[in-house]
């Protein structure tokens, strides 16, 4: 046989061997879904640093998450080295709104591996008891200040939902179900925050309205720790939602209580209530029925609602147990460009406006605040906690941790990594067991960095870091974050009782270790 035939045979044999390896391995969804050609992605990623001066985009470009941010999430999820060398490549003085954390001269030492006080889980409990102010029967102190945000089964694949659920169990955190109902994939051991949207999926009657009977059945069927009523989200605030017919499989239809193979629309507004007072009555009905903490989630637009909510909380004693504020820059859902780019305030502006509205009425300590909207990084997470958020929820960062490569194909159903699709071939590339560990690794790493930042500021818990410890710089001018957001000196910090309780908990945890 001629030499050239031997060469061709050798190449073909090699490619077949690579293809067999790619489709049988489970660690990389891209290779499993796209054998052979998927290696190009990893080659380009590997040589990127060496070629950075020859390519168009820099480490802090590309959106919504920069290359540096994605690299940090990927390395943290895989327990690889997530350090960066050769100093910062950020132009601190020329980046508008750049955050600077002012460390203490005498910081607290964070225990490291080998230290008797070292805790490998870096578990950081919430500074407040969820449902404690209104003495809900099942009030509890969330074990983790970092949890996952609302991502429905249907918009995400079953394997992705299962990976997140298993991951939050490993990390001691909670998973927000999203508004698509509680699926079988949510029942892998992780605690749930069940989100109820305008479509009332999972607690819906035949006409699409709210059903208390189905609501009771769903709560009893799963490890639901709290209920979140979604008013709006950062992806498409004020618009409602749409699950394309292609994603409405028989299983999704069963879970949501809708027809198979037809577009599923979530209305823009709720039918169970139509103003602040009736919303508070609805919250109390759900809490009385289950004993669970019940809260609301919203992006921030007009402020009249929030001022009226604060006033009625003060006057009537009725209140949500928690308030989740989503930023206009957040959201995993597909949306019209104008809504994702121009509707709802960015998180910092939205959250600070709502916090001030409640603080001015003296009711800000009566609720647990949760922040979501690109807060899954240490510096933005610490800022959120210093502004008064008691917990932070992560969504797209969690997707990155389980394999998302920011292909931005979520709205097409063709996600190449099997995260945001119902395509069976693409889903098979995602191994829930492996990705669960990566999700947990990311959550633990984020908590570790938040704790290290708190210790650098001389505090035992991230929620105790005051806003005066964070500056926002514009050129050569720096201003305290408290001044920028118009906070009074004590705003953003836990009450004296909560401060004492969380300090004691953190001290006891170190002593027990």
CA distance 72 to 380: 14
| pLDDT exceeds 70 at position 139 | yes
Average pLDDT, the chain: 89
Residue ranges in 25-66 assigned as alpha helix (H): 29-33, 39-47
Residue 128 lies in a domain: no
User: 424 or 60, which is more confident?
Assistant: 424
Determine the pLDDT at residue 508. Answer: 78
33 is a domain residue: no
pLDDT at 21 over 70: yes
Domain-located, residue 493 = no
Query: Average pLDDT for residues 117-127, to the nearest whole number?
Result: 90
Q: Please, what sign has the CA dihedral across residues 512, 451, 356, 468?
A: positive
What is the percent of the chain where pLDDT is above 70?
A: 94
Average pLDDT, integer, range 29-47: 75
Tell whether 374 is covered by a domain: yes
Other beta carbons within 10 Å of 146: 29
pLDDT digits (tens, 9 = 90+) for 165-193: 999 999 999 999 999 999 999 999 999 99
Which two tokens mark 446?
């984020």
What is the domain-level CATH number for residue 216? 3.20.20.70
Show contacts of 137-144: CB within 8 Å, 24+ apart: 137/291, 137/292, 138/225, 138/290, 138/291, 138/292, 138/293, 139/293, 139/321, 140/225, 140/293, 142/174, 142/225, 142/391, 143/172, 143/173, 144/171, 144/172, 144/173, 144/174, 144/391, 144/443, 144/447
Reference 151, options 397, 433, 384; nearest CA is: 397
Q: Could you read off the pLDDT of 324-358 as tens digits, one per residue?
A: 999 988 766 667 778 878 888 999 999 999 999 99
Residue 44: per-residue pLDDT = 67
481 is a domain residue: no
Q: How far is 344 from 366, CA to CA, in rounded Å? A: 25
| H/E run at residue 230 | strand 224-230
pLDDT recorded at residue 219: 97
Q: Does 475 fall in a domain? A: no
> Rounded distance, CA 507 to CA 133, Å?
24
- Which has more confidence, 113 or 134? 134
64 located within any domain = no
> How many domains does the chain divide into?
1
SS3 366: helix
Distance of alpha carbon 474 from alpha carbon 477, whole angstroms: 5
What per-residue confidence (pLDDT) applies to 338? 84
Highest mean pLDDT among 75-89, 124-138, 231-245, 326-340: 124-138
pTM for this one? 0.89
The parent domain of residue 199 ranges over: 146-459
């Amino acid at each position: 046989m001629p030499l050239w035939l031997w060469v061709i045979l050798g190449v073909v044999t090699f490619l077949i061997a690579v293809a067999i390896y790619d489709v049988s391995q489970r660690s990389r969804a891209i290779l499993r879904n796209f054998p052979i050609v998927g290696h190009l992605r990893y080659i380009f990623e590997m040589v990127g640093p060496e070629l950075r001066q020859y390519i168009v985009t820099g480490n802090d470009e590309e959106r919504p998450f920069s290359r540096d941010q994605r690299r940090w999430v990927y390395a943290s999820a895989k327990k690889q080295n997530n350090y960066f060398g050769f100093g910062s490549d950020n132009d601190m003085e020329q980046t508008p709104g750049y955050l600077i954390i002012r460390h203490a001269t005498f910081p607290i030492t964070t225990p490291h591996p080998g230290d008797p006080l070292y805790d490998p889980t870096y578990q950081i409990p919430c500074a407040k008891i969820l449902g404690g102010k209104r003495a809900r029967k099942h009030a509890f102190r969330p074990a983790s200040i970092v949890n996952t945000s609302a991502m429905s089964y249907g918009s995400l694949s079953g394997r992705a939902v299962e990976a997140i659920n298993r991951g939050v169990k490993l990390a001691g955190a909670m998973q927000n179900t999203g508004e698509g109902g509680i699926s079988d994939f949510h029942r892998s051991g992780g605690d749930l925050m069940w989100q109820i949207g305008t479509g009332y999926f999972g607690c819906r009657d035949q006409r699409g309205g709210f059903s208390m009977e189905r609501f009771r059945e769903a709560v009893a069927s799963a490890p639901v720790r709290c209920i979140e009523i979604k008013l709006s989200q950062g992806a498409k605030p004020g618009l409602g939602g749409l699950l394309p017919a292609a994603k409405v499989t028989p299983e999704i239809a069963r879970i949501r209580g809708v027809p198979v193979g037809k577009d599923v629309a979530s209305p823009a507004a709720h039918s169970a209530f139509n103003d602040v007072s009736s919303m508070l009555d609805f919250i109390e009905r759900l809490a009385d029925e289950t004993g669970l903490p019940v809260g609301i989630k919203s992006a921030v637009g007009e402020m009249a609602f929030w001022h009226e909510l604060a006033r009625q909380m003060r006057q009537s004693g009725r209140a949500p147990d928690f308030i989740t504020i989503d930023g206009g820059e957040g959201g995993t859902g597909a949306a019209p460009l104008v809504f994702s780019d121009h509707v709802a305030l960015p998180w910092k502006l939205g959250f600070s406006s709502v916090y001030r509205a409640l603080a001015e009425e003296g009711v800000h300590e009566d609720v647990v605040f949760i922040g979501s909207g690109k807060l899954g990084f240490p510096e933005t997470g610490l800022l959120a906690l210093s502004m008064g958020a008691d917990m932070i929820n992560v969504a797209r960062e969690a997707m990155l941790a389980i394999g998302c490569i920011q292909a931005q194909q979520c709205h097409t159903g063709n996600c190449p990594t099997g995260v945001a699709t119902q395509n069976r071939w693409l889903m098979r590339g995602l191994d829930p067991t492996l990705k669960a560990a990566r999700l947990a690794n990311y959550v633990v790493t984020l908590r570790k960095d938040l704790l290290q930042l708190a210790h650098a500021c001389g505090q035992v818990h991230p929620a105790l870091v005051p806003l005066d410890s964070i500056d926002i710089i514009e050129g050569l001018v720096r201003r305290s974050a408290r001044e920028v957001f118009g906070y009074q000196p004590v705003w953003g910090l836990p009450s004296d009782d909560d401060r004492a309780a969380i300090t004691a908990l953190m001290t006891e945890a170190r002593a027990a270790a």
